[in-house]
Amino acid sequence: MARDEGSEASAEGDQAGRPSRVAPVMSDVARVARVSPMTVSRVLNDHPSVRPETRERVLAAIEELDYRRNPAARALVTRRSQTVGVVAFDATLYGQAAIVRGVERAARDAGYFVSIASVKEIDARSIREVADSLVGQSVEGLVVVAPRASTLQELRERTVGVPMVLAGGSNRSGLPTAGADQEAGGRRATKHLLFRGHRTVWHVAGPEDWDDARGRLLGWQSALADAGAIEPRVIRGDWSAASGWRAGTELAKHRDATAVFVANDQMALGLILAMKQAGRRVPEDVSVVGFDDIPEAAFYDPPLTTIRQDFEELGRRSVGLLLEILETGTTSSSPPVLPEFVGRLSTADFMGSRLRSGEGP
């Protein structure tokens, strides 16, 4: 009688959703497939010595039992952690965060775990500590999301003991790199404004130490040179909307500034506000082009013309480079991703009416 009550309790427990059996282990798979546990291990590790019919039988048993591998146990056998380390600097920036998302998804698709370490300050001590922390977790390699010249110099000079690739930045880094063609994006933005009749284009650049900012500035300069246009003084920002507002406040004083290429969308947002506060209309008086195409850019007032780069693709490519190094030892960079022009309402044709009527400076 007591045994029957216990059976009922067990059945009720199953109906309540509690597990009725423990998870299957490798020996269970071997028993169902009628092979040895060693053969199951060889199938799981894609060993070439397993006959096709045996492999199919083992895979069928794995599916039947819903067997899941134990990563910790596998690491003990293979001495591989199946973990990728990510070094991110200021992951609050949209581009940095989107690249990290791309790394996470690509690594997960490849069967790898991701361990992320993010630091705010870019100095030798911080870089040393974060690299040592990740290597101490037995990561197989590092993806570095840090397109700053000082950071790259520190990383090049430091031997971390595992392969390392750069996500973002340029192929000039000296490291295997998955980056976008920042110069092409800067040229495209500037040429768009020149094509619309503006005599020259001002530039609000990013921080001087950032490789992305340098590439966009070089693209701006080359487009002006090709058109024979005067190159105005560069105004620097720090990627924030606040620095864009300060740049816009300064530029609003230059009545001949009718077109501005801003090195990222957040700074463009601040610049547009400053122009409006100074009585300069966008795009009627000043045309503005940003860079990145953040999700909010289409909802600016006016919607922002910008240059889109596929950050998640950069993350995916960086993981591909790292896995190639781990598997083959080959160290190469991927071809730069070409940014895409996105036309919206923050740019207009320049008629030059005010300057021609003598109202300019």
Phi and psi for 83 in degrees, rounded to 5? -125, 135
Phi and psi for 349 in degrees, rounded to 5? -65, 140
Across residues 206-223, what is the average pLDDT? 94
* pLDDT score of 332: 77
Based on the fold, state whether residues 56 and 145 are members of the same structural domain: no
Pairwise CA distance, residues 77 & 44, whole Å: 12
- Mean pLDDT lowest among 60-69, 280-289, 331-340: 60-69
Inside any domain, residue 13: no
Based on the fold, state whether residues 348 and 218 are members of the same structural domain: yes
Based on the fold, state whether residues 351 and 209 are members of the same structural domain: yes
What pLDDT band is residue 248 in, cutting at 50, 70 and 90?
Answer: very high
**Reduced to 3 states, what is the DSSP secondary structure of residue 121?**
coil
What pLDDT band is residue 124 in, cutting at 50, 70 and 90?
Answer: low
Based on the fold, state whether residues 210 and 352 are members of the same structural domain: yes
Pairwise CA distance, residues 336 & 314, whole Å: 9
pLDDT over 50 (residue 15)? no
Task: Give the residue, 70 or 84, on which the prediction is more confident.
Answer: 84
pLDDT over 90 (residue 350)? no
- Domain of residue 31, residue span: 22-65
Task: Give the residue, 133 or 258, on which the prediction is more confident.
Answer: 258
State both tokens at 152.
């790259």
pLDDT over 90 (residue 71)? no
Inside any domain, residue 148: yes
What pLDDT band is residue 327 in, cutting at 50, 70 and 90?
Answer: confident
Give residues with Cβ within 8 angstroms of 201, minimum separation 6: 190, 193, 194, 220, 223, 224, 229, 232, 259, 260, 261
Based on the fold, state whether residues 171 and 236 are members of the same structural domain: no
Chain-wide mean pLDDT for the chain? Answer: 82
Inside any domain, residue 7: no
Task: Give the residue, 78 or 148, on which the prediction is more confident.
Answer: 148
pLDDT over 50 (residue 355)? no
Using alpha carbons, select from 176, 206, 210, 216 the residue that is nearest to residue 309: 216
State both tokens at 282.
């966008």
- Strands 340-342 and 306-308, by their bridges, are antiparallel
* pLDDT score of 356: 36
Based on the fold, state whether residues 170 and 239 are members of the same structural domain: no
Based on the fold, state whether residues 203 and 157 are members of the same structural domain: no
Across residues 34-39, what is the average pLDDT? 84
* pLDDT score of 76: 42
Based on the fold, state whether residues 213 and 298 are members of the same structural domain: yes
- Mean pLDDT lowest among 11-15, 63-67, 160-164: 11-15
Name the percent of the chain lying above pLDDT 90: 46
Using alpha carbons, select from 93, 102, 143, 87 the residue that is nearest to residue 263: 93
Number of other CB atoms surrounding residue 54 within 10 Å: 17
Task: Give the residue, 87 or 281, on which the prediction is more confident.
Answer: 281
pLDDT over 60 (residue 70)? no
CATH number of the structural domain spanning residue 41: 1.10.260.40
* pLDDT score of 357: 33
The amino acid occupying position 303 is P
Task: Give the residue, 119 or 73, on which the prediction is more confident.
Answer: 119
CATH number of the structural domain spanning residue 98: 3.40.50.2300
